[in-house]
Amino acid sequence: MDAISLTVNGQKHSVEVSPDTPLLWVLRDTLGLTGTKFGCGQSLCGACTVHVDGEATRSCTARIATVAGRSITTIEGLSSDGRHPVQQAWLSDQVPQCGYCQAGMIMTTAALLAKNSAPTDSDIDEALGGHICRCGTYLRIRRAVHQAAAKHSASEATAPLPAPAGAGGAR
């Protein structure tokens, strides 16, 4: 077995596993990042969703060899303090019931908002349509996505503007 390098939540790792090993099992079993869940193992439920180079990706069917050298973000790395706008909206709307599906829902929502800061109901349904929640939190999720979008836009609006070229800075 050759060592495979990958970056997870900003940290570089080298893992010795078969190239066919699903990313999900490397995250959970090798790296101990158990926030990402196993549901179906067939890309059908969304529970295992992480970001690979910013794209929402089903880790249960992503072979580790295909993500070598790429940047992976799991629910543990979405924010340093649990205050990503999506996480805040999920808490304030009390979205989770059992919680099992929610890491995947949150990761897909964060990827959606990074591309589309004001998604419509149909944008949300399209992005999250492949996610299954046995507790039936779908309506709360849709409401929380809108709330997260509003927080996301507000945080962008209040972020400091980049300094104009040539202004300040060490020379």
Contact of 83 with 152, CB cutoff 8 Å: no
One of 60, 75, 128, 144 touching ligand FES (CB under 6 A): 60
Pick 5 or 94: Cβ nearer ligand FES? 94
Task: Kindly state the helix (H) or strand (E) to which residue 145 belongs, with its residue range.
Answer: helix 138-158
Q: Does 23 bind ligand FES (CB under 6 A)?
A: no
Conformational region of residue 69, where left means phi above 0, alpha means psi within -120 to 50, and beta covers everything else: left
- Per-position x/- string for 113-142, each x denoting binding to ligand FES as judged by CB under 6 A, each - no binding: --------------------xxx-x-----
- Strand order across the beta sheet in which 49-52 lies: 11-16, 3-8, 71-73, 49-52, 55-58
One of 4, 23, 33, 101 touching ligand FES (CB under 6 A): 101
Number of residues that bind ligand FES (CB under 6 A): 23
One of 46, 119, 144, 148 touching ligand FES (CB under 6 A): 46
- Cα–Cα dist 47/103, whole Å: 7
- Cα–Cα dist 129/122, whole Å: 10
The residues pairing with 15 across neighbouring beta strands, listed in sequence order, are 4
One of 25, 30, 34, 38 touching ligand FES (CB under 6 A): 38
Q: Does 25 bind ligand FES (CB under 6 A)?
A: no
Residue numbers at the binding site for ligand FES (CB under 6 A): 38-41, 43-48, 58, 60, 96-102, 133-135, 137
